Amino acid sequence: MGDLISLRYHGIDYQEPLKGSQINSGFSSLYDDTNTVSVDASIKAQDFICITVRSGALIHTYIAHRGEAALYMTTWFSAEPKLGLVRYVMRVPYSRLPHGPPEADLNDTDHTVEAHDVFGLPNGETRSKHYSNHRLKDWSSFGASNAATGLWMVRDTNEGNSGGPFYRSLLDQGTTHDQELTYIINYGEGQTEAFRTHILNSYALVFSKRPPTQLHMPWLGLLNLHGYRSPNDRGTLEGTVPTQLDPHFHYTVALSGPTGQYWCDPSPRTKQFRCTMVSPGRYHVTLYKNELSIAEQDTLITPHHSTNLPPFVTHDPERERAIWRIGHWDGSPQEFRNGTTLSLMHPSDSRMKTWTIPTFIIGHNTVQDFPAYQWKDVNNALPIRFRLSAPPAEDLTLRVGVTTAFMKGRPIIQLNQWRSDIPAPSRQPSSRTLTVGTYRGNNTCFRFRIPAHAFKAGENTLTLSVAGGSTSRGFLSPSVSYDAIDLLQPNSP
C-alpha cells in the first residue's frame, strides 16, 4: 500500500508492472513498531491532487498539478526508518527508458566484482549503481530517456540530506528488467555526519525531452503539508571571502546544522557570497577550497533577517613552504593517477592504470604518476626518492593528507633506515568508499616529525605504506585516498 503502480504519459505506462515504486522497500516495512499504512486522497486549491501516505513516523505525499507532465513528491519523517536510509525508488521498464547512465547499466555484465552491487563485463570493465553518482552540488536532475522523451528526477535544495555539497550517492541502476531512478533523501554509505529529521523534502519526476535545470514549486505552501516552512520564515547568510585566496581553485561556503544543510559559491570577482532560503537555527559554516576546509565558524540564522558573517580566518596548508610536494591541498585526489575515473568505475577496472608504480622521483615524475589510492594488500610500500645537498640542521615534518580511509587505514613512513610510529586512525565513515565511487570522508592531515639524523646528503628514499588491523584482502583491505604529501621547509608550523 502506498506504492506508485501506474505512471502514464502519452498513453504509455512508465511504471514497472511487477514491482511498485516506493520509499525504501515499501511503506509497510519502514518501522518495526508499525505495519499500518494509511492512504488519503484529496483535491486542493482546485488544481492539485494530493495522495498522502502515512507509515509510522513518515509522511509521503504524491502531488499532481493540472497541466504539468510531472509527479511532485514530498517526504517528511520524525524518526529514521529501520533500514538506516530514506530513498524513493522509481522503477521503469528498461525497454521504455533504455538510455541511462552507462556506468550504472548492468546489461551485459557476466560476473560479480564486489559484494552484491558491483559487476563486471567480459572485457574487465565494471558497472554499478554506485558509479552513476555526482557531487551533490553539481547536479539538479538525473534520469533516463528514449528517442522521444526522458523521465527525470529533479531535486530541491536537498536541505534534509546529510553529507554536504560534495556528497556522492547512487542515483540510478539499469538492469535487464528495469531502470531504477533513486532519489536519496539520506544515505549511510560514505556518510560524515548525522542524519536530519523533521524536514520536508521535496522532489519531482518530470517528463521532458531535456533534463530540467531546477525544481519550481511556488505553490507548495497552498497545500497545507506537514513540515512545510514558508520562504518568509527563512533567513539569509551573506559575507565576503578573503581576497588572497588562490584563484586556481573553486570555493564553496557551506552551512551545516540540525535544521538543514545549505551552500553557495562566492563570486570570483567580488568575493561576496549569499546563501538564501536557510531555515532558522544554529549552523557551522565552512569555507572550502575545492573540497578542503580552510576556515570555519559558527553563526545563527533568524527568520526574516540577513545575517552578515564576520570575515573568515583561513588556513591553507598549501601556503606553507615545502622542500617538495606531491598533489594540491584541496581535499581531492583527482589530480593523481586514476583520479579522474575514481567515481566512474571500480579500482580493478581494466581501464584503470596500474596502482603499483616504480620509484616516484621528485623533480622527475609528475603528480599523475602517483596513485590516488593506496591499499595495504594492493600497492603497499610506495617509494619516493628525493635528493638533498646536505642533511638538515633540524628535524623536518612530513605531512600526509588523506580525504578518506577504509578499515582504519592510515599512513606510516620509513625514511632510509628510520621508521615512524603507527599513528592513530582518523575518524572516517564505516562503510565502503574507495570501491563505490567516492573519495569523500573526513579530510585528515597526518604529521610525521622526522629526526634530522634520518636524512643524508644526496639520495633519500621515503617509503609510504598503509597500516591497518583488518585481515580483508585486495581492494577491501585497509586503504587511504590521498589529498597531498609534502616535506616542509625548516621552521614551518
* pLDDT tens sequence across 412-469: 999 999 999 999 999 999 999 999 999 999 999 999 999 999 999 999 999 999 999 8
The pLDDT of residue 471: 87
Strand pairing category for 306-308 and 235-240: parallel
Judge contact between 160 and 167, C-beta under 8 A: no
Mean pLDDT of 138-144: 96
Strand pairing category for 360-361 and 382-388: parallel
The pLDDT of residue 492: 65
d(CA 20, CA 211): 24
The pLDDT of residue 40: 96
Q: What are phi and psi of 162, to 5 degrees?
A: -135, 150
pLDDT tens digits for range 34-80: 778 999 999 998 899 999 999 999 999 999 999 999 999 999 999 99
493 pLDDT above the threshold of 80: no
- 404, β-bridge pairs: 481
The pLDDT of residue 33: 79
144 pLDDT above the threshold of 80: yes
Mean pLDDT of 212-229: 94
The pLDDT of residue 459: 98
316 pLDDT above the threshold of 80: yes
Mean pLDDT of 205-234: 95
Say how far residue 332 (Cα) sits from the centre of its chain.
Answer: 12
d(CA 399, CA 333): 15
The pLDDT of residue 75: 98
The pLDDT of residue 491: 79
The pLDDT of residue 154: 97
d(CA 180, CA 142): 11
The pLDDT of residue 45: 87
CB atoms within 10 A of CB 315: 12
Q: Domains, the chain, ranges and CATH?
A: 8-223 (2.70.98.10), 231-308 (2.60.40.1120), 317-488 (2.60.120.260)
Q: Which grid cell is 205?
A: 519526476
388 pLDDT above the threshold of 70: yes
The pLDDT of residue 470: 85
> What's the count of helices (H) and strands (E) in the chain, helices before strands?
0, 33
Q: Mean pLDDT across the chain, nearest whole number?
A: 96
The pLDDT of residue 417: 97
pLDDT tens digits for range 156-190: 999 999 999 999 999 999 999 999 999 999 999 99
